[in-house]
């Protein structure tokens, strides 16, 4: 099955596999049952037909055994008008088995024809001493025929046969098959609809859990809530326990990262302050450079650890518009002396699948960098790219400035950690590197290009909620 074929069933889903499996079993069972019932009914029809033929056969044998009956009254006790109707499909025949005393008596319906012998067709005698089988009649009809050899001792040996039109058997069997097929077709449809109902509603709790987990990931819920069947309840309990354990691990990681930051950065700050007090001492200058480098390295890696710990939190969603508006006001105050205008265009539906402080850090670094290099204006645009195929929806954030921009080589160097293209601008050179690393942790990316305004364009792709 490709795509959606039945309501509530999707390709490659458990419900689809269960439905196809149940359907296959239903079809196989009904086919086998239909074949068996049709065969049984045909056998029953043949037995009923044979009983009728055997009745005529016994009557004929009684007539053969009483040859003293007047000729005009002999063989008149069968009571079947079809034996008198020429080529009607109902025939009887009695002849001597002795080659030297060949004498044939036959029904008027045979006219001048003869019945074939079952013995000549290789049909053996049954335990009751008769032969039964299908033969071709005089007019091409298919006949059901019974034949019996009779030994009357001194009166000789006879072969007595009675045949009837097998169309009755075939018609009855065909009519039964039609009704059986219609009944089984209705039964199949009913069973399939019942199977769809059972599969769809029987697996509904799993669909509820799937939707609840999606809500947790998107931030619309924190735990699996509601009542579940006893078979599914342990799964829900274990999932909630896993979420709780994940939150505890994240909180401990945050605490450890904070403690490490305080333990490492404080001694480094002391070293930097002491070395700054002896700026004329070459050893102090060297120590100051190395300490600042260590400070930047520690800040970078602690920031990565802090970001990685936050990313393990499930179900955090952030509205983008308030964050961008707050950054616009903040950056406007910071760069007030440069008189840089910041234009904002944010889609109201834009939501970031992550924590607010991470979004603030990424966009804040890009806007701050754009304000440092812009001549007079910075443009911020935020839109949502719909999912394409198996990909998720993504936030598309662009920050443009109308500064001098960067060459291709400079754009490659700008995103490297600690690389500053202009030492006259304030900063540590870690801003774009932090944005790149943090975006990668979220499954996004940062690219630098030339802006339509002539300056630098920073394009940031992040997962959307």
**Mean pLDDT (whole number) for 189-215:** 81
Chain centroid, CA 125 distance in Å: 60
Evaluate whether 287 touches 270 at the Cβ level (below 8 Å): no
Out of 239-248, 302-311, 358-367, 411-420, give the one with best mean pLDDT: 358-367
| pLDDT band at 81; cut points 50, 70, 90 | confident
Cβ-proximal residues to 269 (8 Å cutoff; 6+ apart), any chain: 295
Q: What does the angle CA 286 – CA 288 – CA 294 come to, to the nearest 5 degrees?
A: 105
- The reported pLDDT for the residue numbered 3 is 41
Does residue 305 carry a pLDDT above 70?
Answer: no
Rounded Cα distance, 103 and 86, in Å: 21
Out of 159-168, 211-220, 274-283, give the one with best mean pLDDT: 159-168
Rounded Cα distance, 290 and 126, in Å: 112
Picking from 147-156, 184-193, 427-436, which range would have the lowest pLDDT averaged per residue?
A: 427-436
CA distance to 175, 335, 370, 380, per residue, from 327 (Å): 83, 12, 12, 11
Rounded Cα distance, 407 and 428, in Å: 21
| Polymer length of the chain | 465
The partner residues of 350 in beta bridges, in order of sequence, read: none
The partner residues of 229 in beta bridges, in order of sequence, read: none
Evaluate whether 169 touches 132 at the Cβ level (below 8 Å): no
**Mean pLDDT (whole number) for 154-182:** 90
- The reported pLDDT for the residue numbered 388 is 65
| pLDDT band at 418; cut points 50, 70, 90 | very low
Which has the higher per-residue pLDDT, 385 or 143? 143
**Mean pLDDT (whole number) for 176-199:** 87
Does residue 387 carry a pLDDT above 80?
Answer: no
Which has the higher per-residue pLDDT, 339 or 46? 46
**Mean pLDDT (whole number) for 120-141:** 89
| pLDDT band at 167; cut points 50, 70, 90 | very high
- The reported pLDDT for the residue numbered 382 is 93
Does residue 193 carry a pLDDT above 80?
Answer: yes
pLDDT digits (tens, 9 = 90+) for 401-414: 988 888 777 777 76
Which has the higher per-residue pLDDT, 205 or 352? 352
Q: Which residues of 426-462 are buried (b: 16+ CB within 10 A; e: fewer)?
A: eeebbbbbbbbbbbeebebebebeebebebbbbbbbb
pLDDT digits (tens, 9 = 90+) for 43-79: 999 999 999 999 999 888 888 777 655 545 555 556 7
Out of 40-54, 387-401, 414-428, give the one with best mean pLDDT: 40-54
The sign one gets for the Cα dihedral 319, 320, 325, 327 is positive
- The reported pLDDT for the residue numbered 431 is 67
**Mean pLDDT (whole number) for 288-315:** 66
Largest CA distance in the chain: 157
| pLDDT band at 423; cut points 50, 70, 90 | very low
- The reported pLDDT for the residue numbered 79 is 72
What mean pLDDT is reported for the chain?
80
Does residue 197 carry a pLDDT above 90?
Answer: no
* % pLDDT > 70, the chain: 83
Which has the higher per-residue pLDDT, 17 or 46? 46
| pLDDT band at 175; cut points 50, 70, 90 | very high
- The reported pLDDT for the residue numbered 156 is 77
Out of 35-39, 83-87, 239-243, give the one with best mean pLDDT: 35-39
Encoding tokens for residue 107?
């029904």
Q: What does the angle CA 241 – CA 247 – CA 251 come to, to the nearest 5 degrees?
A: 145
Cβ-proximal residues to 120 (8 Å cutoff; 6+ apart), any chain: none
Q: How far apart are the first and last CA of the chain?
A: 31
- The reported pLDDT for the residue numbered 8 is 46
**Mean pLDDT (whole number) for 321-340:** 89
Evaluate whether 121 touches 132 at the Cβ level (below 8 Å): no
Does residue 155 carry a pLDDT above 90?
Answer: no
- The reported pLDDT for the residue numbered 91 is 92
**Mean pLDDT (whole number) for 113-118:** 88
């Amino acid at each position: 099955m490709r795509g959606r074929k039945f309501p509530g069933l999707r390709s490659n889903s458990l419900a689809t596999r269960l439905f196809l499996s149940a359907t296959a079993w239903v079809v196989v069972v009904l086919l086998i049952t239909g074949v068996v019932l049709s065969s049984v009914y045909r056998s029953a029809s043949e037995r009923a037909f044979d009983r009728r033929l055997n009745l005529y056969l016994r009557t004929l044998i009684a007539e053969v055994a009483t040859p003293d009956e007047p000729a005009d009254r002999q063989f008149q006790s069968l009571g079947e008008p079809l034996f008198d109707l020429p080529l009607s499909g109902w025939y009887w025949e009695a002849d001597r088995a002795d080659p030297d005393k060949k004498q044939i008596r036959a029904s008027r319906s045979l006219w001048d024809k003869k019945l074939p012998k079952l013995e000549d067709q290789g049909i053996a005698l049954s335990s009751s001493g008769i032969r039964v089988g299908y033969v071709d009649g005089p007019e091409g009809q298919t006949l059901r025929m019974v034949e019996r050899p009779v030994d009357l001792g001194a009166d000789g040996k006879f072969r007595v046969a009675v045949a009837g039109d097998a169309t009755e058997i075939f018609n009855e069997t065909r009519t039964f098959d039609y009704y059986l097929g219609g009944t089984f077709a209705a039964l199949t449809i009913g069973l399939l609809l019942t199977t769809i109902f059972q599969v769809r509603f029987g697996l509904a709790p799993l669909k509820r859990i799937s939707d609840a987990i999606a809500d947790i990931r998107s931030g619309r819920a924190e735990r699996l809530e509601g009542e579940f069947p006893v078979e599914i309840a342990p799964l829900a309990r274990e999932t909630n326990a896993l979420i709780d354990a994940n939150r505890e691990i994240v909180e401990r990681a945050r605490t450890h990262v904070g403690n490490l930051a305080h333990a490492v950065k404080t001694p480094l700050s002391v070293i930097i302050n002491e070395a700054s007090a002896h700026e004329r001492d070459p050893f102090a200058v060297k120590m100051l450079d190395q300490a600042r480098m260590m400070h930047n390295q520690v800040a970078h890696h602690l920031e990565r650890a802090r970001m990685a710990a936050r990313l393990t939190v499930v179900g955090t969603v952030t509205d983008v518009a308030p964050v961008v508006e707050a950054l616009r006001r903040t950056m406007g105050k910071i760069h007030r002396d440069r008189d840089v205008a910041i234009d904002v265009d944010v889609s109201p539906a834009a939501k970031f699948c992550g924590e607010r402080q991470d979004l603030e850090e990424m966009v804040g670094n890009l806007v701050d960098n754009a304000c440092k290099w812009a001549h007079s204006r910075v443009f911020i645009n935020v839109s949502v790219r719909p999912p394409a195929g198996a990909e998720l929806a993504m936030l598309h954030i662009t920050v443009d400035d109308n500064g001098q921009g960067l060459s291709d080589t400079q754009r490659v160097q700008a995103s490297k950690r600690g690389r500053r293209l202009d030492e006259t601008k304030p900063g540590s050179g870690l801003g774009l590197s932090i944005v790149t690393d943090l975006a990668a942790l979220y499954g996004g990316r940062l690219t630098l290009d030339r802006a339509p305004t002539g300056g630098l364009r920073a394009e940031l792709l992040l997962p959307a909620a």
